[in-house]
Amino acid sequence: MDEIGFLKKLHEEELRDLEVSAPSPAGLTEVEVCKPELTAALREIRTQYESIAVKNLQEAEEWYKSKFADLSDAANRNHEALRLAKQEMNESRRQIQSLTCEVDGL
- All structural domains of the chain with their residue ranges: 31-105
Segment 37-91, tens digit of pLDDT = 888 889 999 999 999 999 999 999 999 999 999 999 999 999 999 999 999 999 9
Looking at residue 16, what is its pLDDT? 85
- C-alpha 44, offset from chain centre: 21
Looking at residue 18, what is its pLDDT? 81
Secondary structure of the chain as H, E, C letters: CHHHHHHHHHHHHHHHHHHHHCCCHHHHHHHHHHHHHHHHHHHHHHHHHHHHHHHHHHHHHHHHHHHHHHHHHHHHHHHHHHHHHHHHHHHHHHHHHHHHHHHHHC
